[in-house]
């Protein structure tokens, strides 16, 4: 971390961060209100997440990122932008979702430009897989949305296949594949880098249809 990121991490995490525990978070206590909660997995350096939190002061945001310099960078942005509706954790996303997020508690889950593991032999490392989607579904409220974006076409196709095979999801795409980039999804550093390399960008948006236990 840079000196500024380190100072922000040490001074702000006690207020705006939380430690991993095998205990569900109480969002009312965490944020001091009952506003809807958006969770982003892997926010990188945090620029787009900070922008969303600024745009929507009446929403609460949780960001998960294992790269501590990214956490420090987002804390600096939070300080400079005077954001109070954002909380952070630096820990494995699957463990946080499984142990710390109550079922039926999130209004939106965001997964933007995850590691594509583009070599075929590494595809098994991709975070988007059947069991991960079931976990996301359990944490969303009925009518909650799962929004993914990637600049790797093969990964976009993989994401779509996984979601089409999952139960109780409705695709928000009119053509049953990809949606146009929503206006409120900021362009991320990873998107700019991908576009600079000549990549396209694919957004996928699905809504949880029901609370059926048969997943």
For the chain, list the domains and their CATH numbers: 3-10+28-208 (3.40.50.150)
Report the C-alpha gap between 10 and 109 in whole angstroms: 27
Section 104-112 average pLDDT = 97
Count of beta carbons in the 10 Å neighbourhood of residue 58:
8
At residue 214, does pLDDT exceed 70?
no
At residue 49, does pLDDT exceed 70?
yes
Report the C-alpha gap between 148 and 55 in whole angstroms: 20
The whole-chain average pLDDT of the chain stands at 92
Q: pLDDT digits over 110-138, tens only? A: 999 998 856 766 578 789 999 999 999 99
At residue 26, does pLDDT exceed 60?
yes
Report the C-alpha gap between 73 and 8 in whole angstroms: 8
Comparison of pLDDT for 172 and 1, the residue scoring more:
172
Out of 26, 80, 115, 203, the active site residue is 115
pLDDT of residue 215: 45
pLDDT of residue 194: 64
Largest CA distance in the chain: 49
Residue whose tokens read 């294992």: 66
List, in sequence order, every residue forming a beta bridge with 108; answer none if it has no partner: 38, 145
- Low-confidence winner among 39-43, 70-74, 188-192 (lowest mean pLDDT): 188-192
pLDDT of residue 35: 98
Q: pLDDT digits over 149-182, tens only? A: 999 999 999 999 999 999 999 999 999 999 999 8
The answer to whether 76 touches 5, Cβ cutoff 8 Å, is yes
Q: Residue 25 has what DSSP assignment?
A: -
The answer to whether residue 115 is catalytic is: yes
pTM listed for this prediction: 0.92
Across 2-129, the runs of DSSP E, i.e. the strands, are 37-41, 60-64, 86-89, 106-112
pLDDT of residue 117: 58
């Amino acid at each position: 971390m840079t000196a500024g990121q380190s100072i922000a991490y040490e001074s702000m995490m006690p207020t705006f961060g939380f430690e991993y525990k095998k205990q569900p978070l109480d969002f009312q206590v965490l944020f001091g209100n009952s506003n809807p909660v958006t969770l982003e997995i892997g926010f990188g350096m945090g620029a787009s997440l900070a922008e969303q939190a600024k745009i929507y002061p009446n929403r609460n945001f949780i960001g998960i990122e294992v790269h501590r310099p990214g956490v420090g960078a987002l804390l600096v942005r939070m300080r400079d932008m005077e954001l109070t509706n954002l909380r952070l954790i630096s820990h494995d996303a699957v463990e946080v979702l499984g142990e710390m997020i109550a079922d039926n508690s999130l209004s939106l889950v965001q997964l933007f430009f995850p590691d594509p593991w583009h070599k075929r032999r590494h595809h098994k490392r991709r975070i988007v897989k059947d069991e991960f989607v079931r976990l996301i579904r359990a944490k969303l409220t009925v009518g909650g949305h799962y929004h993914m974006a990637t600049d790797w076409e093969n990964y976009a196709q993989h994401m779509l296949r996984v979601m089409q095979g999952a139960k109780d999801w409705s695709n928000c795409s009119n053509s049953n594949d990809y949606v146009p980039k929503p206006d409120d999804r900021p362009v991320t550093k990873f998107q700019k880098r991908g576009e600079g390399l000549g990549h396209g960008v694919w957004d996928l948006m699905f809504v949880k249809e029901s609370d059926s236990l048969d997943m």
